[in-house]
Amino acid sequence: MSNNQLTKYDLEERTAIFGENIIRFCNKIPKTSITIPLITQLIKSGTSVGANYCEADDAESKSDFRHKIGIVKKECRESKHFIRMIVTAMPEFKTEAKLLWQEAKELNLIFNKIYHKVK
CATH code, 83: 1.20.1440.60
Domain that includes residue 75, residue range: 3-117
| Average confidence (pLDDT) over 76-89 | 98
Report the alpha-carbon distance of residue 45 to residue 7 in Å, rounded. Answer: 22
Residue 5 or residue 33, greater confidence? 33
pLDDT score at 32: 98
Domains identified in the chain, total number: 1
Predicted TM-score (pTM) of the model is 0.90
pLDDT digit string, tens, across residues 12-58: 999 999 999 999 999 999 999 999 999 999 999 999 999 999 999 99
Dihedral sign, CA of 42, 46, 52, 54? negative
pLDDT score at 2: 47
pLDDT score at 4: 52
